[in-house]
Structure 1
C-alpha cells in the first residue's frame, strides 16, 4: 500500500491549470482542492463550490446584537430607571435607534471575525495549512486525493498532458514550516 496521500499537479499558468481541471473532470478524477496565489474567475463554478453561508451568520449576529441592545435600553430606560425628559414617553423608540444600530454593527463585526477565524482555521499563532508553499507565491496547484481507485500513473499522465510542470506525490497532508 502506498503512503501517498495527495498527488499535486504544479502549473505555471492559470490557463493550463484550468485545462488540467477540465481534463481531470472529463476522466472522472475527483479533485480535492486547488491552490492559487490569486483569485481566478470562474473556478468556483468549474469546481462546483457552493456559495458561502457567512451572510446568514452575519444576519444572525446582527439580529442578536440589535435584540440584546434594544432589550437592555428598554429595561434600563423604561423599567429600571425611568426619567421624564421633556415630557416624552418613557418608551420612545426613536431614542433607542442610534445605540441599537451601533450595537448591531458591533456584534456583527465581532461575530463575523470569530466566525471567519473558526471556519478558516486561521487562529492567531497557528501555522497556515498549505499543500505546496509555492502556491502562495507564483505557482498553481491542483491537489488530488490519492486514496481513490484511479491508478497514480494515470493521474500523473493526465496532469502532464494538461501542462503541469511538476507532479508531486505528497505523503503528508500539509507542509509544515519547521
Structure 2
C-alpha cells in the first residue's frame, strides 16, 4: 500500500517548466520537486529556495583542517621530536605551509561531501523515488505532493495542463 500520492506533470521544454513553476506557485500550489535532465538557471529562485549554506560548513571544516595541521606540525617538530638543525627554531612556519594548505583542503572537501550526503538523506541505504524515467533523458518533471496542498487533485491537474504540461499522471509512492 502506498504512503504518499503525487501528481506528476511532464513538460517538454526548459522554458516551459520554468514559467510553469512560477505559475503553479503563484496559484498557491506547493511543489515537492522539479526533475530536469540538466540544470536550469533561475529554477532555484522560481522554486523559492533560499541561499545555500554549504559555504558555512566548508569554512568550518577548513578552519578545523588548518588548526589540526598547525597542531600536528607544531607537536611533531617542536614537542614530540625536536631536531636542532643549524640553530633554527623548532617550528619554522614557512616550511609547514604546504602541509597546512593540503590538510585544510582535504578536511573541507570531505566535510562538505559528508555534510551534503547527510543533509540530503543520500546514505547507502537510501532508495530514490523515480517519478518518471524520462527525467534523465529529455523530459522535465514537476512532482506535487497532494497531501501538502489544499487544492484538489483535479484543480492541480487543470493548473498543470494550463501551464503547458504534456501529461499529468498520478504516482503513488
Shift of 1:84: 0.8
Aligned position for 1:88:
88
Partner of 1:48: 48
Instruction: Verify: 1:103 aligned to 2:103, yes or no.
Output: yes
Change (3 A) 1:83 1:56: same
- Give the equivalent residue in structure 1 for 2:168: 167
SS class of match (2:49): coil
Give distance in 1, aligned partners of 2:167 and 2:49. Answer: 26
1:175 is matched with which residue? none
Task: Give the equivalent residue in structure 1 for 2:78.
Answer: 78
CA distance in 2, matches of 1:69, 1:53: 25
**Aligned-partner SS, 1:143:** strand
Q: State the partner residue of 2:151.
A: 150
More off after superposition, 62-71 vs 88-97: 88-97
Which secondary structure state, in structure 1, belongs to the residue aligned with residue 165 of structure 2?
coil
Structure 1, unaligned runs of 5 or more: 173-178
1:59 aligns with 2:59: yes
CA deviation map 1:27-66 (0-9, x unaligned)? 2111111111111111111111112211111111111111
Please report the TM-score for the alignment, with normalisation by the length of structure 2: 0.88
CA distance in 1, matches of 2:82, 2:43: 58
Could you say if the C-alpha distance between residues 114 and 26 of structure 1 is closer, same or farther in structure 2, counting changes exceeding 3 Å? Answer: closer
Cα RMSD after superposing both structures: 2.1
- C-alpha distance in structure 1 between counterparts of 2:133 and 2:21, whole Å: 20
User: Normalized against structure 1, the TM-score is what?
Assistant: 0.86
**Structure 2 alignment gaps of length 5 or more:** none
Cα distance in 1 for partners of 2:98, 2:87 equals 20
Rounded Cα–Cα distance in structure 1 between residues aligned with 2:68 and 2:82: 19
Q: What secondary structure does 2:143 align onto?
A: strand
